[in-house]
Structure 1
């Protein structure tokens, strides 16, 4: 239970991502829209998820998470979230979405270096 609480924001943001990505696209029809807003949303969601993970990992372990294993796990989550959309009627799997998800994750790793460049490796 203690480990779960240590990563509460990571878990909450993962849950939010799944909910948002599985909502019918009609749920967003009243929101302001512009070309590419869905890609920006993917980038932002995975930026928040990844930054939450990095910061909570640092707090729990007092060092940075291992980059390659972290990215591997994040890619699995990205792939899983896209595959889940195949089971909805108004969503679909898109490789471009996965690229924006990954860009958000990589931006979070870069931001974490800027926020605390002295963090242990």
Structure 2
């Protein structure tokens, strides 16, 4: 019985692992995402452009200033907006040093 519970637990956990490896090209509107890449440019005080090997996307930080610089490696957690131009509404950001920055503004 314990063996079956372990297998079921692993099966439930596997989709979470896959979500961490998302690429920009594969992002879908209205989904919670985790995507890693490099800061391509700072678009304005609360938005930067993230790039990976598959493309670029704007990352909106709400009423928060961009805490990273161009060419920084980051991992972003957030929701992909369903507007005409794809954009991630970030809930948190992790830098290459492991610092995690959370953004208080709620987009739900």
Do both proteins adopt the same fold according to a TM-score greater than 0.5, normalized to the shorter chain? Answer: no
TM-score, with normalisation over the residues of structure 1? 0.23
Q: Which has the higher strand share?
A: 2
Q: Which has the higher contact order (CA 8 A, sep 6+)?
A: 1
**TM-score (ref. length: structure 2):** 0.25
